[in-house]
Amino acid sequence: MRNYLIVGAGFSGAVLARALAEHGRARVLVIDAREHIGGTCHTARDEATGVMVHQYGPHIFHTNRQDVWDYVNGFGEFRPYINRVKASIDKGIFSLPVNLHTINQFFGKNLSPAGARAFIASLGDSSIGESANFEEQALKLIGRELYDAFFYGYSKKQWGCEPRELPASILKRLPIRFNYNDNYYDSVFQGIPMDGYSAVISRILAHPGIEVKTGLAFDRSMRGEFDHVFYTGAIDAYYGYSLGRLSYRTVFWDRVEGGDDMQGTAVINYPGIDIRHTRVLEHKHFTPWESHDHSVSFIEYSKETEATDVPHYPKRLPDDRLLLNDYAAMAREDHGVSFLGRLATYRYLDMDQVIAEALDFSGRVLVHGAASAGVRFSCDPAETD
């Protein structure tokens, strides 16, 4: 019987804990410094309105993997939900991602799909070959006007730096469509759990071989009490920032109450550089199957992560990549711990990717053993973009 400690009660930690416990030869303790499970996916009912609120910003589950979709639905009912994001700029309210409606509305045209494709191609900067950064990718793909209207200011506010300092891969995640499809994602399966994400994660953790303690921060002195530690927090924090701090952005919110419907949709982005916030979230629209007499919205802001903040988005700038490689080298020599998840491998990951990676990782742990060099990381951060 192995004795394991898992640090972090989000999807990564919960999925791994369940797999180890179901294997039948492990006692698993899951701890989290926060007073709740779920990590940044944590959801809870708002006391004043009864609305289910995504406490750390909106999470829409989407995946193309049937096994991942089946897995989460085994622990809760996921209702269909299509994420339709709007953007508010000086010229009006537009749909994102950029699609045929956005193009025709923005330029005052009535283009067909083929006509819009040719028109946007004519706006793109053909002198750019392989895009070296976010800004070049945008200018090559959609041209200056759409970039300035929808992407420049939003990205600068979101990431706290000029978009030319960001990798092109950030923009490559967002499609440009030449039809009227305003679904933010292209994934086959999309939804939100009827009872919220924390209920789903609670059910994943509900196994006699798993003990959960919240409000308990990890200390490296705990390592001696366990056969192995699985860590899902920030890798630089695990090593006490001994080599320096990786850079993250974090988000915070101002709460606004009033009326039964405040903006008519779940998410409106505010790309303007003269507006401090990045978007406004009205959470009742994330559960269209529910009815509420009162609504609540949250104005979201982005800032650099400080010592007391919860890190959200890894910036992965060139200096960060070098520092990450140093931490990864340190971790490879550390035979008492394995790292998995978004923060521990310093990558931007969607929920389905987190779950898929935890499932794959747990399989390797069960086959090879936690102390094997092959399972030091769920995915080697030094080898990923």
Active site residues: 173, 177, 249, 279, 300, 348, 350
- Report DSSP state, residue 198: H
* C-beta atoms surrounding 160 within 10 Å: 16
Tally of residues, the chain? 385
The encoded tokens of residue 57 equal: 């910003």
From CA 324, how far away is CA 341, in angstroms rounded? Answer: 15
E strand or H helix that includes residue 201: helix 197-205
E strand or H helix that includes residue 117: helix 113-123
Spell out the long-range contacts of 72-78 with Cβ–Cβ below 8 A and sequence spacing 24 or more: 72/193, 72/200, 72/355, 75/200, 75/201, 75/203, 75/204, 76/193, 76/194, 76/195, 76/199, 76/200, 76/203, 77/193, 77/194, 77/195, 78/191, 78/192, 78/193, 78/194
In the numeric block, the tokens 């009827």 are attached to: 194
Cross-strand bridge partners of residue 88: 93
